[in-house]
Amino acid sequence: MSASVVDAVTIERRGMPAVAIGIEKLVNTTGRGMARAQGVPDYPIAIVGHDLGIIEDLKNDEEVEAIAKSLVDQVETMLLGKK
C-alpha cells in the first residue's frame, strides 16, 4: 500500500492524474502514513470493499472483475478531480 501511494503521488507530480487503491485496513494505516510522509496527507485513495487478505483468496476471474467494477466510480471521481 505504501508503495502504491508513493507511485501515485510521483505520477501526479509529473503531471498525470493517478489513484492509489487499497483495502481499508492498509489505507488507514500504511497508506495514510505514506501520504503524510509524501506531504499530501489528504491524498485520495480508493478503497476496495473486500478484505482480500492474500491474492490467493480470490477464487476466479469473476471475483477479480467484480472488485474492479466496484472501484470504477471511486476512481473516476478521483481522476476527474472531484476528490
pLDDT in tens, the chain (83 residues): 899 999 999 999 999 999 999 988 899 999 999 999 999 999 999 998 766 555 566 678 887 888 889 899 999 999 998 65
Range of the domain at 69: 2-79
Based on the structure, what is the number of domains in the chain? 1
State residue 60's pLDDT score.
80
Q: Beta strands 45-48 and 20-23: pairing type?
A: parallel
Distance of CA 20 to CAs 9, 43, 59, 60, Å?
Answer: 8, 9, 24, 23
State residue 62's pLDDT score.
84
* Measured distance CA(20)–CA(8) in Å, rounded: 6
State residue 83's pLDDT score.
53
State residue 65's pLDDT score.
86
